[in-house]
Amino acid sequence: MDSRRTAARLIVPLSYQPSVASATAYAPVNIALIKYWGKRTIPLHLPLTDSFSITIDAGTTTTVTQSTLSDTVSLNGTPLDPSSPFYLRLTTFLDLVRPHPAFRFAITTQNDIPTAAGLASSASGFAALVLALNRFFSWNLSTQQLSCLARLGSGSACRSIQAGFSHWKRGTRADGLDSYAEKVPAEWPELAFGILLLSSKQKTIGSSDAMRRTVDTSPLFPLWASCVERDLEQLLKSLEGNDFDLFGRTIEQNALTMHATMHASWPPIVYWQPETLSALHAIFKARADGLPLYATMDAGPNVKLFFQKNHTEEVVKLFLDIQLTKLTLH
Ligand code: PMV
């Protein structure tokens, strides 16, 4: 049995059957404020550092039923070809939880993420799938167990099980049972968010391969791990006092440190496009002119902005194409 299957078996009950004809669940997209970049155990998606995120008002709704002959997956109303990467990724995950080897699933999944927003949907996708499976089989798993199971699909999915601020503790166990995300209660109604869709160019390298290359070849990687600890401490402090400048500085510096660490890999990993850099310079200039506006970027060229609601008009004036999206704290 491979290590992922062993890990899944430690989470789900020993024996189970569908308890309803079909089950549906929703999970939100999460935006990393302190990034996850680097794995200590690749197949189990166990991270080398903690990470921290917030969910937005967009996500994935997934329905699970039993199928007869083969697994079927429908994404946004279109049946997927069994040779497509997403079909393979999903059914490989389903292999971990089939009640018996011949059991087949029909999965219907719908993303309400703004079209082409450039947001990864794998985190909300795997979280919604795990929540739907939990209902379908009446597993009654705890949020910690659901988070661990979602992590086996995609690392950052463990932070999409619950809405709000989420702290993924790296854990130390080899089986990963202590590596899950926990909700961090915090109030910040003034916090606002928007996405700049800057380039729809296809990524040249996926996050898993890029993480592996960064850990293996970037001389900056050890420094990255120590920065994460400092950044987490600062972020938690900023949430306690709703200190926006400390919040913004922390998340932007964390994102830039992650990108600098991957830029120093070999061959280099540069997700930015010229538009990314132009947007960053516009943000630095706006800030120098007195507008409290901060950026974060993930494994792609797009820029995500954080600001406070009372500055929305100025931000929209600066970036006419910004896609404003609500944050969900509860
Ligand atoms: O969970 P993955 O393999 O899609 O990796 C996510 C990596 C980042 O989005 C760049 C950072 C993060 O913490 O979400």
Residue 116: its pLDDT value, please? 52
Residue by residue, pLDDT tens for the chain (330 residues) are 689 999 999 999 999 999 999 999 999 999 999 999 999 999 999 999 999 999 999 999 999 999 999 999 999 999 999 999 989 999 999 999 999 999 999 999 999 876 555 576 789 999 999 999 999 999 999 999 999 999 999 999 999 999 999 999 999 999 999 999 999 999 999 999 999 999 877 778 999 999 999 999 999 999 999 999 999 999 999 999 999 999 999 999 999 999 999 999 999 999 999 999 999 999 999 999 999 999 999 999 999 999 999 999 999 999 999 999 999 988
Among 113, 153, 114, which residue's Cα sits nearest to residue 11? 153
Choose the residue to mutate in 29, 31, 37 for probing ligand 1, maximizing ligand atoms within 8 Å of C-beta.
37
Rounded CA gap, 195 and 197, in Å?
A: 6
Choose the residue to mutate in 34, 214, 276, 298 for probing ligand 1, maximizing ligand atoms within 8 Å of C-beta.
298
Domains of the chain, earliest start first? 3-184 (3.30.230.10), 191-328 (3.30.70.890)
Q: Is 294 exposed, middle or buried (0-12, 13-18, 19+ CB in 10 A)?
A: buried
Residue 1: its pLDDT value, please? 61
Choose the residue to mutate in 207, 256, 296 for probing ligand 1, maximizing ligand atoms within 8 Å of C-beta.
207
Residue 203: its pLDDT value, please? 78
Residue 114: its pLDDT value, please? 61
Among 60, 52, 31, which residue's Cα sits nearest to residue 305? 31
Rounded CA gap, 170 and 148, in Å?
A: 11
207 lines ligand 1 (CB under 6 A): yes
Nearest atom within ligand 1 for CA of residue 51: 13
